Amino acid sequence: MTKRPLEGLRVGDFSWFGAGPIAGNTLAQFGAEVIRVESEAKLDGLRRGHPFAMNPDGTFKEGYNVSGYFNNYNCGKLSLQLNLNVEKGQEIAYRLIEKCDIFLTNFTPRVVEKWNLTYKQLSRVNPRLIAAYAPMQGMEGPHRDFLGFGAVLTPVTGLSEMSGFPNRPPFGIGTNYPDYVVNPGHTVTAMLAALRYRKRTGKGQCIELPQLESVVNTLGTAVPERLVNGTNPTRNGNRSISAAPHGAFRCADDPESVGSNDRWVVIACRTDAEWQAATKALGHADAASDPKFATFAARKANEDDLEALIGNWTAGLKAEDAAATLQTAGVPAGVVQNAQDMLDRDPHMKARGYYRYVNHPEAGREAHDGPAAVLSETPGDVPGPSPLLGEHTMDVCERIIGLNMDEIADLLADGVLV
């Protein structure tokens, strides 16, 4: 079996919900031993988050171990139950951190300080430690203890202002995008950079990744436009300043689409040549020479009419056929896919084998996101099912921390390992 690039690396994952655990999940996929520190006293809300696995009779399974949400982002980790609200729990945390290369958390500074997990304290325990802190708004500043998740970051960072249609309230992007992509990706990059520094110097360091600052760069040109032109860019639906048409167009219903029959195709024409190719591919080549649409400027000036026209063309077409026809003609286009498409119907995703299937002892067979990058010599993989709550408490306490059975029994009796 090919050795994965992060094998031998040990991570103390003291995070919860999305941004922190997803970063830890990436490290686990590429070989790190990731120890998820949890407590029933402050349970990760994702363990209670839908979708839950289902029983054969169609009812939902119950318990802390059957959330597809949690399980997808904690594959192959070890779960240690530890009560950090008590002094003995913090002492055990220090003994674990002594044996770790990386410490990871996304709790607020207030909680970090309450649990005595600041970098100043941890670096005394392990000077080679790389400690990554990813609170919502940073370790310092007037909003440092503000609470929030991806659904709060989306409006706070300006993304919601840019999402939606003109003259309507902002509606965001429909998912906690910062949790899944931006913040975990930046955190992993920072941790790998710190590992490289430690390899050269032997020194650990502190990483501060305010999720607010990590996400604002996704605004693209909005901030430079404000700086240079004094304008305040806002939501503009699906339209683009650099393409016309640029939008989603209704196609024929698909009775096999679960949940909704609606099907849509997105089309973007950046040049007059692409527009001409699109009209020809869709069987309406004469529209390319219509004065209302012949040039980019004309199409932008008549965008409402343009979108209505294309909508009439696509209304009777199967979305997949429309996208394939346009792509063959050299026009950027694609189906607006749903979860069913991604998992079961997209031939490209199936051919690449992105989704990996694992058997979980309580949730059953689950599909999990595979590694985001494919390394030719040291590929990552889904290392196994996510842990049951506290499943590896004994193993971590004995093998890694070095406790004997009497010590573990005492900690259980004292409510430390819960």
| Active site members | 179
Q: From CA 161, how far away is CA 133, in angstroms rounded? A: 28
Measure the N-to-C terminal CA separation of the chain; round to a whole number of Å: 36
Separation of alpha carbons 302 and 315, rounded Å: 20
> How many Cα atoms sit within 13 Å of 237 on the Cβ side?
15
Instruction: Compute the distance between CA of residue 268 and CA of residue 366 in angstroms, rounded to an integer.
Output: 35
Could you give the dihedral angle defined by the CA atoms of residues 135, 141, 144 and 146, in that order, rounded to the nearest 10 degrees?
A: -130
User: Please, which residues have CB within 8 angstroms of residue 241's CB and are 6 or more apart in sequence?
Assistant: none
Q: Three-state SS across the chain?
A: CCCCCCCCCEEEECCCCCHHHHHHHHHHHCCCEEEEEECHHHCCHHHHCCCECECCCCCECCCCCCEHHHHHCCCCCEEEECCCCCHHHHHHHHHHHHCCCEEEECCCHHHHHHCCCCHHHHHHHCCCCEEEECCCCCCCCCCCCCCCCHHHHHHHCCCHHHCCCCCCCCCCCCCCHHHHHHHHHHHHHHHHHHHHHHHHHCCCEEEECCHHHHHHHHHCCHHHHHHHHCCCCCCCCCCECCECCEEEEECCCCCCCCCCCCCEEEEECCCHHHHHHHHHHCCCHHHHHCCCCCCHHHHHHCHHHHHHHHHHHHCCCCHHHHHHHHHHCCCCEEECCCHHHHHHHCHHHHHHCCCEEEEECCCEEEEECCCCCCCCCCCCCCCCCCCCCCCCHHHHHHHHHCCCHHHHHHHHHCCCCC
The answer to whether the CB of 333 falls within 8 A of the CB of 326 is: yes
Pairwise CA distance, residues 301 & 290, whole Å: 13
